[in-house]
Amino acid sequence: MLEKIDLSKEVDKETYKKVVEEEGARLGLLQRECKAAGIPVMIVFDGMGAAGKGVQINRLIQALDPRGFSVHASNSSNEEAKLRPFLWQFWTQIPAKGRIAIFDRSWYQIVQEDRFDGATREKDLPGAYQDILSFEKQLSDDGMVIIKLFLHISQEEQKKRFKKLTNSKETAWRVSKQDWKRNKDYDEYLKINEEMLENTETEYAPWTIIEATDKDYAAMKILTTVTARLAYELERKKEQADQKADSQAVRPQERFHNGVLSGVDLTKSLTKEEYKKELSRLQKKLDKLHSELYRLRIPVVLGFEGWDAGGKGGAIKRLTSHLDPRGYQVNPTASPNDIEKVHHYLWRFWNNMPKAGHVAIFDRTWYGRVMVERIEGFCTEAEWKRAYQEINEMESHLANFGAVVLKFWLHIDKDEQERRFKERMETPAKQWKITDEDWRNREKWDQYEAAVDEMLVRTSTTYAPWIVVEGNDKYYARVKVLRTVVEALEEKIEQVKKG
């Protein structure tokens, strides 16, 4: 998930100044209102080393009344802290009602740096996560607003910053051997951070990922994240006081959301010859792997989503054409029927989950909940917001059982879609594929793009990743799908054989 985020985002000086001026004034006001309403606030700055936590905390507090907040720099190697359970110091530092506590690093260190450094044992991780979740839940139930920021930079950017720090006598001490090690093993460290975000993303204490390459962009996003959240919580608190049953408070949408689709290179393509060769090679391989899967009793779940006319059908066809039909099933997903409507939305998908050794392919999936149902209002906001976690839990349950779980997003741009729609209308054999609804959905392209971006960030997990498929060229897309499946199966089979 973290590796998918477009880190090139930046902002021009003028916009930055304008936003900081407006939102800064707003933050000062919100702080006073929170004080009056007795709302305690915790703001956590965490993320990659040298992402600029210190600088960003400094910028944020410019707008705050210094009598109303405190900054806590935490370090798990602190001697006094070591003599106590790891949450102890944070419990003692929780802000009183109406005050703001800002944390430079936090209780997340134990499942992040300490884990990477080997100071936290793998077997203690589930317990540590439980403790973190219960800590945040208990505080949140008591009225605490918890804002968690993850500052993200790339491996190259981090290296550049470490070098710059090392080159100056005044700052060289700030870069440790461990920092360099984390930069060297960036991918491994990123995975640890990704697991941390997955395990601790909750409705009451959500994470916001801050693209921190451009410091101005980061500062602007942090500021707007904090103001939007405080405004929301104040409104909710007011509604509670007024005993309003139906909350009108709108959960803060991020004004600057994480881009994923914006960074996808749609020029990728293959020649017909390359395509034929690769296709044939991969299909043969897949056929062989399919038998092994069956023998080793590995279940496989493949989900396909994408823009209308994105090429799902074609990709699925190339995937299955050489498989033994007794070993796989393709489940097309239409609107729920009457029986399905009186059950939990995941029920119909559970009914079609493969047994050990079998492959289940879903043409459209349970992700409808956070796309079409979200956008068309077929479920409530609370329902689709909750669905990210519910879906992650379902996929985690499948993965823990030993299943391979892959999800493909077939991506094309708006022009390519138009071309394909028109082609469909003009080709008698393809006319059934295009309806008025397709054209209507197309008008909501931007809404869908925002929903898909959020979905990809929130549900691409280490155990069930999303694969964004560059789909403007069908040859390239089909081969990428096949190759990804083949590689994932090979890896899994290897793993199972090793025991």
Return residues touching a second copy (CB under 8 A): 38, 80, 83-88, 91-92, 94, 96-98, 123, 126-127, 130-131, 134, 138-139, 141-142, 144, 240, 243-246, 297, 299, 339, 342-347, 350-351, 353, 355-357, 386, 390, 393, 397-398, 400-401, 403
Nearer to a second copy, 236 or 433 (CB): 236
Nearest approach in angstroms of CB 299 to a second copy is 8
Cα(79)–Cα(83) distance, rounded to whole angstroms?
7
Sheet strand arrangement including 328-332: 328-332, 359-363, 300-306, 404-411, 466-470
Cα(147)–Cα(69) distance, rounded to whole angstroms?
14
Nearest approach in angstroms of CB 403 to a second copy is 8
Nearest approach in angstroms of CB 206 to a second copy is 17
Nearer to a second copy, 240 or 291 (CB): 240
Amino acid at 471: G
Cα(370)–Cα(466) distance, rounded to whole angstroms?
15
Nearest approach in angstroms of CB 496 to a second copy is 15
Residue 441 Cα to chain centre, angstroms:
24
Nearest approach in angstroms of CB 297 to a second copy is 8
Amino acid at 461: T
Nearer to a second copy, 15 or 380 (CB): 380
Radius of gyration (Cα) for the chain, nearest Å?
A: 25
Nearest approach in angstroms of CB 294 to a second copy is 12
Nearer to a second copy, 205 or 486 (CB): 205
**What is the sign of the dihedral through the CA atoms of 119, 120, 121 and 122?**
negative
The CA dihedral of 302, 307, 308, 309, to the nearest 10 degrees, is -80
Nearer to a second copy, 38 or 263 (CB): 38
Residue 308 Cα to chain centre, angstroms:
23
Nearest approach in angstroms of CB 400 to a second copy is 6
Cα(307)–Cα(417) distance, rounded to whole angstroms?
8
Q: Which residues of 55-92 are buried (b: 16+ CB within 10 A; e: fewer)?
A: ebbebbbebbeeebbebbebebeeeebeeeebbebbee
Phi, psi for 164 (deg, rounded to 5): -60, -45
Cα(431)–Cα(436) distance, rounded to whole angstroms?
11
Q: Provide DSSP, 109-142.
A: GGGTHHHHTTSS-GGGHHHHHHHHHHHHHHHHHT
Nearest approach in angstroms of CB 238 to a second copy is 13
Nearer to a second copy, 267 or 400 (CB): 400
Nearest approach in angstroms of CB 383 to a second copy is 8
Q: How far is CA 408 from CA 282, 345, 466, 485, in A?
A: 17, 21, 6, 10
Nearer to a second copy, 398 or 486 (CB): 398
Nearer to a second copy, 324 or 393 (CB): 393
Contacts of 377 (CB under 8 A, 6+ apart): none
Nearer to a second copy, 243 or 267 (CB): 243
Nearest approach in angstroms of CB 100 to a second copy is 14
The owner of tokens 């700030």 is: 174
The owner of tokens 């741009």 is: 413
Angle made by CA atoms 339, 435, 352, in degrees to the nearest 5: 30
Nearer to a second copy, 347 or 439 (CB): 347
Nearer to a second copy, 103 or 275 (CB): 103
Nearest approach in angstroms of CB 106 to a second copy is 16
DSSP state of 11: -
Is there a contact between 73 and 104 (Cβ–Cβ < 8 Å)? yes
Nearer to a second copy, 52 or 354 (CB): 354
Angle made by CA atoms 42, 46, 51, in degrees to the nearest 5: 135
Nearer to a second copy, 245 or 334 (CB): 245
Nearest approach in angstroms of CB 309 to a second copy is 33
Nearest approach in angstroms of CB 306 to a second copy is 26
